C-alpha cells in the first residue's frame, strides 16, 4: 500500500541551527502539507503546497519556515534558526485532490536543545 515516508524519525538540533525535514509523498498525489504537534497538544496546520507554490499557510508558518519540492518526489520543510519552542512532532501529508483524504507520514520528532 502506498504511504508517505518521512526522514529522519527523530532529529536533535541545537538552538539556532537550521534543520531540514524530508518527506516523500505518495507518488500520484498533487497536494502536500506540513502539520506539527507539540507534545500533548492538538495537530496544527502549518502549510499546504500545490503546483510548486504555497497555497495556504498558518500564522505559525513565519519567515523562519520554508518548504520546497526540489525534485519530483521529495517535499521538504526547512526551519532556519531553530528555537526551543519548535520542538514538536512534524507530520507530512499528501492528498490526491484538495479536501480529500490526506495520508500522513509517521512524523519526525524534532527536539531543539
With vertex at residue 54, the alpha carbon angle to CA 53 and CA 57, rounded to the nearest 5 degrees, is 175
Cell of 76: 521538504
Of the residues 13, 22, 44, 69, which one makes contact with other proteins according to CB under 8 A: 44
Residue with cell 520546497: 68
With vertex at residue 58, the alpha carbon angle to CA 55 and CA 63, rounded to the nearest 5 degrees, is 90
Pattern 91-110, other proteins, x by CB under 8 A: x-x----xxxxxxxxxx---
Closest-CA residue to 109 (of 84, 82, 91): 91
Q: Which is nearer to other proteins, 18 or 96 (CB)?
A: 96
Contact flag: residue 66 with other proteins (CB under 8 A)? no
Of the residues 26, 31, 87, 88, which one makes contact with other proteins according to CB under 8 A: 31
**Which residues contact other proteins (rule: CB under 8 A)?**
31, 33, 35, 41-45, 48-50, 55-56, 58, 91, 93, 98-107
Amino acid at each position: 500500500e502506498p504511504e508517505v515516508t518521512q526522514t529522519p524519525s527523530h532529529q536533535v538540533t541545537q538552538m539556532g541551527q537550521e534543520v531540514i525535514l524530508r518527506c516523500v509523498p505518495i507518488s500520484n498525489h498533487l497536494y502536500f502539507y506540513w502539520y506539527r504537534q507539540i507534545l500533548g497538544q492538538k495537530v496544527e496546520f502549518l502549510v499546504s503546497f500545490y503546483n510548486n507554490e504555497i497555497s495556504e499557510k498558518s500564522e505559525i508558518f513565519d519567515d523562519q519556515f520554508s518548504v520546497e519540492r526540489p525534485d519530483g518526489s521529495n517535499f521538504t520543510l526547512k526551519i532556519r534558526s531553530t528555537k526551543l519552542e519548535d520542538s514538536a512532532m512534524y507530520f507530512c501529508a499528501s492528498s490526491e485532490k484538495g479536501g480529500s483524504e490526506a495520508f500522513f507520514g509517521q512524523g519526525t520528532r524534532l527536539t531543539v536543545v
